[in-house]
A = this chain, B = another copy of it.
Amino acid sequence: MDKFFNPKSIVIVGASSKRESIGGIILRNLLDFGYPGRIYPVNLKYKKIGQLDCYQSISDIKDEIDLAVLAIPAKVVPDVVEQAAVLKKPIKNFVIISAGFKEANAVGGQLEDEIIRLAHKYDLKVVGPNCLGVLNSKYKLNASFSKNNFSAGHIGLIMQSGALTTALFDLAESENLGFSKVVSIGNKAVLDETDFLKYLEKDKDTKIIGMYLEDIKRGREFIEALHKASHSKSVVVIKAGNSQKAKKAVESHTGAMAGEAEVAREAIEASGGVYVEDFLDFIENLKMLSSFKKPGSDKVVILTNAGGAGVLTTDLIEKNNSLSLKDFNLCEKRKLLKVIPEAGSINNPLDILGDAITDRYTRVLRCLRDMSNIGAVICMATAQAQTDIIGISKAIAQANKYCSFPVIPVIIGAHANKQAQNVLKPYGLNNFIFPVQAVAALSALYELDRRKSRLASAHFKFSNTPEVIKKMADNAYQEFRGAFYFRESMKMAEYYQIKVSKTYYFGDHSFRPKFPLAIKVDIPRLVHKDSHGGVILDIINDSQLEKAQKELKEKFPEEEIIVQEQTFRGIELILGIKRDINFGPVIMLGLGGTMTEIYREKILWLLPCAKKQVEEKLNGSILAKILQEKKIDIGVVIKQVLKVVKIAEENEWMRELDMNPMIFYSDRDPVTVDIKVFLAQ
């Protein structure tokens, strides 16, 4: 992989002397950026391009080539790749810039498949096709057709959109963002995000990793790589293409199919990454992560020379779920009184008034340095009559050295921002123009740190399916059923000690049900039995039961009918498993009943999942609040979730488990009314 970022020699197929052609831009970028290796332009039309000899064909090159960059029409790409792969000194690494593959049309799709075939045949590493290229600031490598300069720094980028990469470069300069290594992965026909995540994890020049992804290809491997990377670096992932319409857009873009947003979010966060959906958030998070210390607590101090600015920020902190304002104790207030004028405020937010000069900022920051339990200081300034933005920015830069917590500048204004950024840049710091951005990114940083401290193992392997269940599954497969009969599901529930509503079949030996009853038809794949008239409720005597049985028999003559005792009222939850095509089994606990569709409150867990993880995610959730309101022991719910975790671990064949509703009580054991099991195809 290192040959992509530190190649000793590069061939550019499609190199050109034309300034506006892609091949021309790549060659110029390589030269302008100061690439120290050898460059071999290939183009039939030229004998020389500038100072460089130009080759007619790739076969004319006799030297060893580390990397081939292809900027030629899609239809000739496979031929050139094969030509390069069978050279006497074969080329193993390719960056295919060319578009016109899977993202374009079916013909392009075939060309891409051909590239994949060649990669397997000759053991080739391929970036793209349909990508911007690769960059390495330390090695002065810019093998891309980006028009924009990019600044050196410690952020590594893995981007599934070339255009957004150039846009990011354009924004980076004024945002004090600098990059180590950048790869635009394009259609990721061969190498994908996980390959480069593993590479950047080990890269010493990369401290932060930013990824733009429209889909995640090898979910479980991605999780493991992210998990590993999170131990030593901070990873921000912008996951786009989440909505239905967006999925369409993805298909016509890089031909990728997007997975489900919530699962991807859970996968990324549980692996210690930051999940964002929006480009602005992506940038603000990169700024925060690359510039500031981690906050040691959730307590924020606001320091401001403008009351209004303090009020706005206070509103934001109060609305934020992670952060809160520090309350100063009497002793601290006394100290603050010595450095803040009487007309100001020694309550948080600290208002040091519009005439505050640099010295007043410094004295207050020094005073805060010695206080305990400060997570972060948001240090605000607006350019008023006497305000020296440059001086204040320096004071903030200094404070970030002598304070154990981050001191985050929020200097509101365009010119003011520019002044501040110039001062902050050499310190590796960053200004935020608006408090909303600083608070959001600070909150994300704090949450990330908490998640990282709880990271467990990421490796997961399925266990064997218990024999009794395996038999039922085999049987269902043989009968081409996609799902279990209720009888089978009950048996599985019994095996895992999950209580199901007392259920009978007509003609059962023990048929002595207690009224009120419900009767239902048992058709494995019929999800919404009730809307098909397959359920009759509130049966209170034998004659009603007989009548209802007759009714269902007439409607569904082929099917078996079950009789269930109706359950006590309690709180209805949904508990189940969904097999995600990327990330494997996902355990889901959600609000059930008619509220489900409205509030969609749910918690997800991916495997592996221990008791600790179940507790951590459930505690503090909205579901936990609802349970508490209804006086339901959260320990009982955790126990049920752990049973489902076990089902997920032991039943690789399962596509879906749906227990809905599972009813929880304050004074008796939980019971599931319905249980459905679906099999993977």
Interface readout for A421-455 with B: 1 if CB under 8 Å, 0 if not? 00000000000011111000000000000000000
Contact B245 A174 (CB under 8 A): no
CB-CB under 8 A from A164, the residues of chain B are 306, 308-309, 312, 382, 412
Min CB–CB distance A388 → chain B (angstroms): 11
CB-CB under 8 A from A611, the residues of chain B are none
* A532 close to B (CB within 8 Å): no
Contact B306 A163 (CB under 8 A): yes
* A317 close to B (CB within 8 Å): yes
State whether A311 and B629 are in contact (beta carbons under 8 Å apart), knowing that A171-B414, A173-B414, A278-B316 are contacts in the complex: no
Interface readout for A306-335 with B: 1 if CB under 8 Å, 0 if not? 111111101111110000010000000000
Interface readout for A239-269 with B: 1 if CB under 8 Å, 0 if not? 0111111101110111000000000000000
Nearest neighbor of A160 in chain B, beta-carbon distance: B308
Contact A147 B307 (CB under 8 A): no
Contact A314 B161 (CB under 8 A): no
Q: Among B167, B281, B314, B416, point to the contact of A246 (Cβ < 8 A).
A: B314
Contact B385 A245 (CB under 8 A): no
Min CB–CB distance A622 → chain B (angstroms): 6
* A594 close to B (CB within 8 Å): yes
Contact A307 B629 (CB under 8 A): no
The CA of A245 and the CA of B325, in the complex, are separated in Å by 8
Contact B254 A415 (CB under 8 A): no
* A598 close to B (CB within 8 Å): yes
CB-CB under 8 A from A315, the residues of chain B are 240-243, 246, 277-278
Give the number of chain A interface residues (Cβ < 8 Å).
94
Stretch at the interface among A203-211, A218-226, A340-348, A480-488: A340-348
Interface readout for A376-413 with B: 1 if CB under 8 Å, 0 if not? 00000011111100000000000000000000000011
Nearest neighbor of A248 in chain B, beta-carbon distance: B347
* A104 close to B (CB within 8 Å): yes
Contact A243 B319 (CB under 8 A): yes
Contact A385 B100 (CB under 8 A): no
Interface readout for A354-384 with B: 1 if CB under 8 Å, 0 if not? 1000000000000000000000000000111
CB-CB under 8 A from A348, the residues of chain B are 245
In this complex, the member of A278, A386, A435 whose beta carbon has the largest number of chain B beta carbons within 10 angstroms is A278
Nearest neighbor of A246 in chain B, beta-carbon distance: B314
Contact A308 B248 (CB under 8 A): no
Contact A148 B383 (CB under 8 A): yes
* A214 close to B (CB within 8 Å): yes
CB-CB under 8 A from A308, the residues of chain B are 160-161, 163-164, 212, 214, 240, 253
The CA of A314 and the CA of B244, in the complex, are separated in Å by 9
Contact A147 B383 (CB under 8 A): yes
Contact A385 B25 (CB under 8 A): yes
Nearest neighbor of A280 in chain B, beta-carbon distance: B434
Nearest neighbor of A241 in chain B, beta-carbon distance: B311
The CA of A167 and the CA of B382, in the complex, are separated in Å by 6
Contact B280 A170 (CB under 8 A): no
Min CB–CB distance A313 → chain B (angstroms): 9
Contact A342 B252 (CB under 8 A): no
Contact B385 A145 (CB under 8 A): yes
The CA of A25 and the CA of B311, in the complex, are separated in Å by 27
Q: Among B280, B307, B325, B629, point to the contact of A163 (Cβ < 8 A).
A: B307
CB-CB under 8 A from A161, the residues of chain B are 306-309, 311
Q: Among B103, B245, B625, point to the contact of A314 (Cβ < 8 A).
A: B245
* A626 close to B (CB within 8 Å): yes
* A56 close to B (CB within 8 Å): no
The CA of A280 and the CA of B319, in the complex, are separated in Å by 16
CB-CB under 8 A from A314, the residues of chain B are 241, 243, 245-246, 249
* A2 close to B (CB within 8 Å): no
Contact B385 A147 (CB under 8 A): yes
CB-CB under 8 A from A108, the residues of chain B are 343
* A166 close to B (CB within 8 Å): yes
Min CB–CB distance A134 → chain B (angstroms): 16
Contact A105 B384 (CB under 8 A): no
CB-CB under 8 A from A382, the residues of chain B are 163-164, 166-167
Contact A163 B305 (CB under 8 A): yes
The CA of A524 and the CA of B13, in the complex, are separated in Å by 88
* A671 close to B (CB within 8 Å): no
* A568 close to B (CB within 8 Å): no
Nearest neighbor of A437 in chain B, beta-carbon distance: B280
Contact B311 A416 (CB under 8 A): no
The 23 sampled A-B contact pairs (Cβ below 8 Å) are: A20-B386, A148-B415, A161-B306, A163-B354, A167-B306, A170-B383, A170-B416, A243-B318, A246-B318, A249-B310, A250-B311, A252-B347, A253-B345, A253-B351, A278-B312, A278-B315, A278-B316, A279-B436, A280-B437, A281-B436, A594-B630, A597-B629, A598-B622
Minimum-distance CB pairs A-B, first 5? A161-B308, A163-B306, A243-B318, A253-B307, A170-B413
Known contacts A249-B311, A281-B436; 6 additional CB pairs below 8 A are A148-B413, A241-B315, A246-B315, A249-B351, A252-B307, A254-B307
